[in-house]
Amino acid sequence: MVNLGNDEIVKYPFLAEAGKYLSDKGFSLDQFGTDPDLRKIVDSAFERITIASEGRIFKPDLSSDNSSLPLEIFSFLIAVILLKLSGMNTLIRRFSLAEARRAEKFLEKDLINNQDAMKAKLSLQILHELFSVTVQRVDQEFRILVRDYLKHSINFHEREWKLINRKVIDGKVHLTPHETVRLVRKELDRHIYTKINSSSSPEMIPGFENYVDKLKQLAKKFEVRTVESTEYPPCIKHAIEVLEKGENLPHSGRFLLATFLLNKGQTVEQIAPLFKNAPDYNPKVTIYQLNQLSGKSGTTEYKCPSCEKVEGQDLCFRASTCGTIINPLQFGRKRV
Amino acid sequence: MNVKDVTLLEDTFKKFYFEHFDLLHVPDNPNQREFGYQKFNGGMNRHISLKSDKELHLLLMQNKPSDVYCSNARYTFPNLPMAEKDWKNAELIFDIDAKDLRNEYPKDSTLIKCSECDTVSPLADVCPNCQSTKLSFTTLTCDDCIKSTKDEVVKLTKILTEDLGIHEESIKIFFSGNEGFHIYAPNSEYEQVGSKERAEIADYIMFRGCIPETFGFKKFNMNKSSLPKFEDEGWNGRLAKHLYGKKSNRSKISQEIISGGYALFQKRLEDYRESIGIKIDPNVTQDIHRIFRLPGSINSKSGLTKIFVEDLKKFDPYVDACLIDDEEIEVVANCPIKFSLKNKKFGPYNNEQISIPKFAVVYMMCKGIASSV
């Protein structure tokens, strides 16, 4: 595993073993609840969470003297404890993402650190050990095996991350330092989130109650309520129209229509009659296929394809009513 | 297909297999592969496990299949239902088929069959007999079609080696047995790659989903745009060659493109997909549970064999993959256009009884334009 010095743990605090780190430094959790001198650390931890919940990145003060180093690390570790005590998943999600973005900035800086070879090496090591990405540096450019690149990039919806929009030479994707680090943001986020979630939940620490109550209040702000219209998106309307006219809807169109309706909660029996006008209609085959898609016959429940996929199959009839949806299932969904 | 024709084809295929066991082998790791077969007029039998060439040959002799398949994937339990097979990895395979390359059917090599009155006639928009528009299209031997698929295979091979880093010597090209080629990249680092990732590779090869920024177009600072150069590697270089024709045109043409604006360039990039994108079938590449026609087996759509292509340039599928014997047989042929097999010309036949070599009989029966006497 990666060997970390104090200044590395400040940048990547999620790599530290929380309990061990605190006890190594001679502290117990209870002390943070009772010792007035340690209160500023708990305040800082609380602030770290609230800043993260607003989508901003916590900026540590690295310019001050060395005594500030444990404060930054402690504030992360205590923030994790506060989050666990609050049990507010929405805050843990927001915190993980903000911490991932914070670490991303350091990772990027370290990757191109020409002065300190150790820092550059460590950042490559983090990418390799945490995310199984082997990065080769050539001047200011970073090269990643296409296979490794795809493993991460398929999680992105932005077109710039498609392989076709990358410089690909001899089995490697060429990336800037920023892109290299951005590539693993989701995994970094997931890594932090999993680490927080899998850590054991402590008993309430005397002195933390107030912070935890405030976090519970804070989480309420982020509850999202949505309403959904019953109208179908244009691609689905088109597919139904084609079938109603008795024209041939390609396999991909039938897949789209069936998975959309299944995902919306309709039953195989409700959907099957839609296909009765298809030129090659066979009721037995239709029911068999729908059962397969619904997961009734197999173990896989097929998901409605993304808008990008639908577009690639020439089945997209995007209208202004679609807005910025990335999956037909999101059509007509509004936050209230 | 009528019983007499089925018997003739089954017996012919069986004889062929018996005499050509040397062509039919199970692939590496046979006990991890899923095999399947179809019978004439029958459905698909899959989830079969075979451990050796002997077991494969026995299957061919016992079942007289019309088509034989084998997975590119390796599984822990290949004979269990799909969800329980435990997928391990799969060879990366591309399919280039003449039907995906053409915008219209080749006039001299296509015939139509009317779904209303069963009349078979040369290519037309309506049935000349009953004016119906419910037609099915059948393409016979077409040298131009094969030439264009070969060109695509060459372009694909270049991208696989230069861009995706696959060793040229590891790429294996097979004639599919009908109108196209299957390109295998076995033992590559892509074997572990899943379906979504393979879809991305397919899009890359097809030049699908690109944005102007990839080619140096700056949306909000158009004057600072710098379009690709002739000598660039990858798609940049290929696009540059397509756009400029020659190196000296770069400045003029790239200026024209930039002043045309972002939206127009985006539209043009989508159009270029048709001309420079490789026309693979993306569904084949991204399907990691597919069973592919087994090399050495006969394709029942044509009676030609799926065969390894050693020299693509010299390869002539209508000679090299036409391996059925030339014993003369009498049939009733209804083929209003000419075709050529093993360097011999056949047709047109106007629903008449003729005596021709078996390989041509099988070809026409498979295409549905000949029947036993």
Coil vs helix vs strand at A137: strand
Tokens of A264: 């919306």
Coil vs helix vs strand at B84: helix
pLDDT, position B302: 97
Residue A113 DSSP one-character state: -
A224 has pLDDT over 90:
no
Concerning whether B281 is annotated as a catalytic residue, the answer is yes
Q: The complex's ipTM?
A: 0.93
A66 has pLDDT over 70:
no
Quickly state the pLDDT bin for A336 (edges 50, 70, 90).
low
Q: Which residue from B165, B192, B211 is facing A165, i.e. has the nearest CB?
A: B211
Four-way CATH pick for B3-100+142-203+281-324: 3.40.50.300, 3.90.920.10, 1.20.1050.90, 3.40.50.2300: 3.90.920.10
Residues 6 or more apart from B239 whose CB is under 8 A from it?
A: B215, B228, B272, B276
pLDDT, position A270: 87
Task: Say which range, A21-30, A101-110, A214-223, has the weakest mean pLDDT.
Answer: A21-30
Quickly state the pLDDT bin for A60 (edges 50, 70, 90).
low
pLDDT, mean over chain A: 86
pLDDT, mean over chain B: 95
* Selected residues 122-151 of chain A with any CB under 8 Å from a CB in chain B: 145-147, 150-151
**Sequence-separated contacts (24+) of B60-65 with Cβ below 8 Å:** B60/B14, B60/B17, B60/B24, B61/B14, B61/B17, B61/B18, B63/B37, B63/B39, B64/B10, B64/B11, B64/B13, B64/B14, B64/B39, B65/B13, B65/B37, B65/B38, B65/B39
Tokens of B51: 């451990």
Q: Inter-chain contact A171–B235, Cβ cutoff 8 Å?
A: no
Top-confidence residue, B144 or A282: B144
Q: Which residue from A150, A164, A170 is facing B209, i.e. has the nearest CB?
A: A164
For testing the chain A interface, which of B80, B196, B231 should be mutated: the one with the most A CBs within 10 Å? B196
Q: How far apart are CA B186 and CA B178, in angstroms?
A: 22
pLDDT, position A63: 47
What are the extents of the domains in chain A? 6-133+184-220, 234-335
Residue type, A289: Q
A159 has pLDDT over 50:
yes
Provide, rounded to the nearest whole percent, the portion of chain A with pLDDT above 70: 94
Residue type, A277: N
With beta carbons less than 8 A apart as the criterion, state whether B296 and B305 touch.
yes
Chain A touched by B215 (CB under 8 Å):
no
Quickly state the pLDDT bin for A243 (edges 50, 70, 90).
confident
With beta carbons less than 8 A apart as the criterion, state whether B61 and B318 touch.
no
- State the first-to-last Cα distance of chain B, in angstroms, to the nearest integer: 14
* Residue of chain A nearest B203, judged by CA positions: A164
Q: What is the pLDDT of residues B270-306, one digit of tens each?
A: 999 999 999 999 999 999 999 999 999 999 999 999 9
Top-confidence residue, A284 or A66: A284
Coil vs helix vs strand at B120: strand
pLDDT, position B265: 95
A62 has pLDDT over 50:
no
Instruction: Give the gyration radius of chain B's Cα atoms.
Output: 24
B208 has pLDDT over 70:
yes
Chain B touched by A294 (CB under 8 Å):
no
Q: How far apart are CA B65 and CA B321, in angstroms?
A: 18
Task: Say which range, A111-115, B140-144, B342-346, has the weakest mean pLDDT.
Answer: A111-115
Provide the whole-model pTM. Answer: 0.82
Domain span(s) for CATH 3.90.920.10 in chain B: 3-100+142-203+281-324
**Cβ neighbours of B201 in A, within 8 Å:** 146, 150, 163
Provide, rounded to the nearest whole percent, the portion of chain A with pLDDT above 90: 34
What's the full length of chain B, in residues? 373
Residues A216-244: what's their mean pLDDT? 85
pLDDT, position A1: 53
